[in-house]
Copies of this chain bind each other. A is one copy, B any other.
Amino acid sequence: MSQRTSSLPTIVSGKNALKTFQTWLRKNAPEQTVILCDSNTLQHCWPVLLQHVPQLSSAALIETDPGESSKSLEIAAYIWQTLTEQAATRKTLLINLGGGMITDLGGFCAALYKRGIPFVHIPTSLLAMVDAGVGGKTAIDFMAVKNLIGTFSNPVSTIIDPVFLKTLPAREWLCGEAEVYKIAAVANASLWRTLTKKGFSPELIEKAVRTKQRIVKKDPYEKNSRQCLNFGHTIGHALESAKQGTLLHGEAIAIGMYIETELAAQLKLITREWCVEMQQALMWRFDTVLQPIDGEALRHFLVHDKKNQKHKLVFALPAQPGHCHINVVATPTQIQKAIAAYNKCMK
């Protein structure tokens, strides 16, 4: 079994996704299967997976602690050590069962072990379904910088089954919605209109995933247009790093989008009307998340953003609805001004 002989689509989504995976697995039985999960997904998602795909009962399990702190070189080394001890070969299949932490970490380990073994993502959070699980990015954090060490490497398939969302905590759910709002704002005006008029519903997952897939296909290595997906992420990643795990990724991105929308308006890249519409929509949905932040604490982390060029801070900022400006350079003063305006609104 290899990525090339697989007939499983790149993305399998919907209520029968696990069933499709089960059928494929029966026909393409890998010589060895290893499942990576954290203690949360081991408890809540592994029984669900086993119920739908019973032949996985003989698979080996690798368990990590939940949370961003597991996306480290030390845990990657632990996973490689376990794979080695189990004599995993280039044909061993790694299944990453979990949220974005697990898919990023598991994808990273699979991409590098013996220069690449096949892996399947089964994202169990809304965020991972619409974001980390799709697009071929893998990474670990390093020196407190998010995703500093990583690769572009595609899973055999990403299995998106809403059955896992039943046990998803509300806070995690909101994180996923933040990425759906982002995708809509910069790449799908029709999805944005649906979100603002009717709010989010699980039926929109497919729409968000297909939009992201279209963007990734056009520019897989993020040389140009894919950078639109970084909207909210320059501020968001720095904030996430500065908060050291107390803020979830989607929460940081919600705040990042608000501030970067403000920055776009300041730089006259969007009309004040579109700025206000976006900020109102964000405020309406993410009011529990949008809190004042410490702009000074972000400076160090902004400097290490992967998108930077020659010590200039680079942003992907909204243009008209469903479109985006990439490679926008902003000065530290402009950034702090946007943060100050945000903090003022949140008081």
> Footprint of B on A, CB under 8 Å?
2, 4, 31, 73, 77, 80-81, 84, 87, 89-91, 111-116, 137, 139, 142-143, 145, 147-152, 221-223, 303-304, 306-311
Please pick, from B2, B4, B115, the residue contacting A150 in the complex, using a CB distance under 8 A.
Answer: B115
Instruction: Check A309–B111 contact: CB distance below 8 A.
Output: no
Instruction: Check A151–B87 contact: CB distance below 8 A.
Output: no
Instruction: Check A142–B303 contact: CB distance below 8 A.
Output: no
Q: Give the nearest-CB partner of A84 in chain B.
A: B143
Please pick, from B80, B111, B139, B309, the residue contacting A31 in the complex, using a CB distance under 8 A.
Answer: B309
Complex Cα–Cα for A223 and B2 (A): 10
Inside 8 A of A89's CB, which chain B residues have their CB?
A: 306, 308-310
Inside 8 A of A81's CB, which chain B residues have their CB?
A: 142-143
Instruction: Check B309–A84 contact: CB distance below 8 A.
Output: no
Please pick, from B87, B111, B147, the residue contacting A311 in the complex, using a CB distance under 8 A.
Answer: B87
Inside 8 A of A113's CB, which chain B residues have their CB?
A: 148-149
Inside 8 A of A303's CB, which chain B residues have their CB?
A: 87
Instruction: Check B148–A304 contact: CB distance below 8 A.
Output: no
Known: A73-B77, A84-B142. 7 other contacts (CB 8 A): A73-B73, A80-B149, A89-B306, A89-B308, A91-B310, A114-B306, A115-B139
Distance of A316 from chain B, by nearest CB (Å): 15
Distance of A88 from chain B, by nearest CB (Å): 10
Distance of A333 from chain B, by nearest CB (Å): 20
Instruction: Check B80–A151 contact: CB distance below 8 A.
Output: no
Instruction: Check A80–B223 contact: CB distance below 8 A.
Output: no
Q: Give the nearest-CB partner of A152 in chain B.
A: B115
Distance of A205 from chain B, by nearest CB (Å): 26
Instruction: Check B148–A80 contact: CB distance below 8 A.
Output: yes
Complex Cα–Cα for A180 and B114 (A): 25
List the 9 closest pairs (A to B, CB-CB), nearest first: A114-B306, A115-B150, A112-B149, A31-B310, A84-B143, A89-B308, A80-B142, A73-B77, A89-B309
Inside 8 A of A150's CB, which chain B residues have their CB?
A: 112, 114-115
